[in-house]
Amino acid sequence: MLIHCVYEKGHGYHENLHAFTDQIERLLVAVLLILFGGSLVTGILNALTWKMALFSILLLLVIRPLAAYASIAFSKFHYKQKLAISFFGIRGMGSIFYLAFAIKETTFDHVPELWAIVAFTILLSVILHGLTATPIMKYLEEEIEANPKKVEDKGKGKNKNNSTA
């Protein structure tokens, strides 16, 4: 079974299928962003208050990055890579599906406010991450290319052979 999976990963059809699924994902995200833009202009943020906006900002800049960093703190990545992964987190569009499912399955008070928080958080994320993704990723690529050994060593923690600090 393992040999079969390894063979399939290197097969050209696997690469084509992977490229196709990437394109489908991009297409669906583009459609979702268009629909999201439509929801913004039709008033999804009308129920937003300053407290909800502050919560979204804290969620995006503090809570989610700390939670994400805690989940990968002991991984082999360089700390700069961990920071980038934590900052960017997972895509926020999934929140739309989670909230829609939850609202369908049970009764909530303040549904417009829930949608406003989710929409505002996604809007902030799209703007903030859209402006910072390219420079941060370019910086990380240059850092790794310039110092591949340094990045690898820092990601593994202390070197057992080097007892001096």
- Rg of the chain over Cα atoms, rounded to whole angstroms, equals 21
Check residue 121 and give its pLDDT.
Answer: 94
128, 63: one domain: yes
Instruction: Kindly report the pTM of this predicted structure.
Output: 0.75
> What is the CB neighbour count within 10 angstroms for residue 91?
14
Check residue 127 and give its pLDDT.
Answer: 93
5, 57: one domain: no
126, 88: one domain: yes
E strand or H helix at 48: none
128, 117: one domain: yes
Query: Residue 157 has which token pair?
Result: 């923690």
Instruction: Name the pLDDT band for 149 (thresholds 50, 70, 90).
Output: low
The half-sphere exposure of 45 on its side-chain side, counting CA atoms within 13 A, is 14
**pLDDT reading at 9 higher than 90:** no
Give yes or no for a contact between 112 and 47, defined as CB atoms under 8 angstroms apart: yes
Domain housing 108: 45-156
81, 145: one domain: yes
100, 81: one domain: yes
118, 66: one domain: yes
Domain count, the chain: 2
DSSP labels for the chain? -HHHHHHHHHSHHHHHHHHHHHHHHHHHHHHHHHHHHHHHHTTTTTT--HHHHHHHHHIIIIIHHHHHHHHHTTSSS-HHHHHHHHHH-S-TTHHHHHHHHHHHHS--S-HHHHHHHHHHHHHHHHHHHHHHHHHHHHHHHHHHHH-HHHHHHHHH-S-TT----
Query: Residue 125 has which token pair?
Result: 């994320």
Per-residue pLDDT of 46-96, as tens digits, reads 999 999 999 999 999 999 999 999 999 999 888 888 999 899 877 677 889
Per-residue pLDDT of 117-146, as tens digits, reads 999 999 999 999 999 999 999 998 888 777
**pLDDT reading at 5 higher than 80:** no
